Structure 1
Amino acid sequence: MNLFCYTATATVQAALGGASDSVSVDMSNTYLEWAKDNFALNKLDTRLHRVVRDDCFRWLETANAEFDLIFMDPPTFSNSKKMRDTLDVQRDHPRLVELAMARLAPGGTLVFSNNQRRFKLDEALSEHYVVEDITGRSFDPDFQRRTNLHHVFLLRHKAP
């Protein structure tokens, strides 16, 4: 599953890497059209790799499927009229993570990234999930000097 999928580039890579099916969610018709173009250019079956136009909060609240891998890269801020409320990644990430983790299959991984320079992951998430900060490993060598450009975390369910 790819949330805030933009043009679904991450989904295309997952599908080309062997993902049997996927769901990519975004609110923008334009981005979703580009996502469909990306699927077509890469000869991906859109019956297996679906795009969904929806607010990611609303979609997560109503979804009933489980996913082995979830990629979520929300914008730093959004006040889209298509959303019920504004989105502030610092304020809203705990709720987004909780909703995504409810859709994550046992043994699965949530990749959570964002571009807010001063972002701090809510420490309470570490009480419920295994959290690994992989930000340092995600930078191209050309950008090693500016390590606050984005943040990337892997989250997994704790063993029972």
Structure 2
Amino acid sequence: MQKKLQSKPASAKLFQKGYPLVEMEAVANPGVLKEEGEIFTLTDSKGAFLGTGYYGKQNKGIGWILTFKKGESIDQPFFDKKMMEAADYRSSMLKSEDTTAFRLFNGEGDGIGGLTIDYFEGYCLINWYSKGIYAFKDQVLAALQKAIRPKGIYQKKRFDEKGQYIEEDDFVAGEEAPYPLLVKENGEKFAVYLNEGAMVGVFLDQRDVRKAIRDAYSKDKTVLNMFSYTGAFSVFAALGGASKTVSVDVANRSLPKTIEQFSINGIDHEAQEIIVEDVFKYFKYAAKKEKIYDLVILDPPSFAKSKKHTFSAAKDYKNLLKDTISLTARNGVIVASTNASNVSDEKFKGFIDQAFKESNAKYSILENYKLPKDFRTSPQYKQGNYLKVYFIKVTAK
């Protein structure tokens, strides 16, 4: 029997408009929910139907609405339909020979919050964001097999009692992927590892930004890539004709991983610079040495902690930009990026403006990017459209 959850009056209008995330403070009786994965019916204070969803603890939420249609069952045909619709929406990408790594299913944007599926050269990687959605593992796997028949399926459980990633063997079904698995993005190659911890080696949401860097911003430029991870931006800059790339990341793994990404694309990694160091320390070093770059890529995690620094995009991005402006040539370009869902587009543009004013510098915004098309979002859930990237020309300093 489905649990009956009652919305507080102030939140009912949001749900009526299609808001999919059920937050603790939005409901009057959260105590009726006992076990993650339970299906509930959400009503307003007068008992009128608002939606049907599942109980699953994720960030601020306690569940997701799966359907706003009264009488629609959450059963195997429901999951089959959602997965088929997601595959149809990306049918051109599934046929592409130029790009073979993309987001196949994007949570609430495709109608099932708490679940994402990435596609890598015929293999699929499922991300489960709560115990609640993981309770539907069999239905999701069956729907995925039916929709696209992947060569193999992997998973990442991004939850435990504290909401952290669970480290375990991630292979689920089918055949195991090569190690590494080589995928293509706009004709270039990336090495990914589907069974090697929480990260696989490339962030798919930056595909359009990497293409722009390669095609329009790198030719004969010196490029600094901060928080470089496995060097994906540096690879595309080098392929775009950069005179030199410098990649900086604190993680020890960034060195061999970046060398690998350069090498599989036929780039001499020894002609590039790969630095394993705290980015904040590098800023100080570069300023002291009066280093100047034509293109600086700034894509920090929304939250990062090193031995001496704690970084929060919501609090510290402006100061990070000020440090970046000092290292950027006049008429040079800064690629300012954040994936922090708690930083609105308006707030982010405010950081940019404040940073330039406080640096006594001037700028113009050349272009900006949001999530690519495969990262489908819900217009009613603006937090899901988290990516904000601005190409900023330093016009005077």
| TM-score normalised per structure 2 | 0.37
Secondary structure of residue in 2 paired with 1:155: strand
Secondary structure of residue in 1 paired with 2:332: strand
Whole-Å Cα distance in 1 between the matches of residues 230 and 253 of structure 2?
A: 9
For residues 112-138 of structure 1, what are the alpha-carbon distances to aligned partners after superposition, in whole Å with 9 as ceiling and x for unaligned?
101101212224135343253844x44
Matched letter for residue 143 of structure 1: F
Shift of 1:98: 0.9
Q: How do 1:70-85 and structure 2 match up within 5 A?
A: 70-81=296-307, 84-85=308-309
Matched letter for residue 70 of structure 1: V
Whole-Å Cα distance in 1 between the matches of residues 293 and 320 of structure 2?
A: 15
Provide the residue aligned with 2:375 in structure 1.
143
Q: How do 1:65-144 and structure 2 match up within 5 A?
A: 65-81=291-307, 84-119=308-343, 120-121=347-348, 122=351, 123-125=353-355, 127=357, 128-132=361-365, 134-135=367-368, 137-143=369-375
Residues 131 and 116 of structure 1: is their aligned pair in 2 closer, same or farther, counting only changes over 3 Å? farther
| Residues 366, 393 of structure 2: 8 Å contact kept | no
For residues 68-125 of structure 1, what are the alpha-carbon distances to aligned partners after superposition, in whole Å with 9 as ceiling and x for unaligned?
11111000111233xx121111211111111111110111100010110121222413
| Residues 333, 391 of structure 2: 8 Å contact kept | yes
Matched letter for residue 17 of structure 1: G
Whole-Å Cα distance in 2 between the matches of residues 109 and 7 of structure 1?
A: 22
Secondary structure of residue in 2 paired with 1:142: coil
| Residues 129, 155 of structure 1: 8 Å contact kept | no
Whole-Å Cα distance in 1 between the matches of residues 390 and 372 of structure 2?
A: 17
RMSD over equivalenced CA pairs, Å:
2.1
Whole-Å Cα distance in 1 between the matches of residues 356 and 377 of structure 2?
A: 28
Whole-Å Cα distance in 2 between the matches of residues 18 and 130 of structure 1?
A: 25
Provide the residue aligned with 2:395 in structure 1.
158
Q: Name stretches of at least 5 consecutive residues in structure 2 with no aligned partner.
A: 1-223
Greater gyration radius: 2
| Residues 131, 153 of structure 1: 8 Å contact kept | no
Provide the residue aligned with 2:97 in structure 1.
none
Shift of 1:141: 2.2
Residues 71 and 31 of structure 1: is their aligned pair in 2 closer, same or farther, counting only changes over 3 Å? same
Q: Name stretches of at least 5 consecutive residues in structure 1 with no aligned partner.
A: none
Whole-Å Cα distance in 2 between the matches of residues 43 and 141 of structure 1?
A: 29
Q: How do 1:7-46 and structure 2 match up within 5 A?
A: 7-46=230-269
| TM-score normalised per structure 1 | 0.87
Residues 131 and 76 of structure 1: is their aligned pair in 2 closer, same or farther, counting only changes over 3 Å? farther
Matched letter for residue 374 of structure 2: D
Residues 97 and 87 of structure 1: is their aligned pair in 2 closer, same or farther, counting only changes over 3 Å? same
Shift of 1:157: 2.1
Whole-Å Cα distance in 1 between the matches of residues 395 and 270 of structure 2?
A: 33
Flag the structure with more relative contact order, 1 or 2, with Cα contacts below 8 A and sequence separation at least 6: 1
The worse-fitting range, judged by mean Cα deviation, of 32-41 and 108-117 is 32-41
| Residues 35, 51 of structure 1: 8 Å contact kept | yes
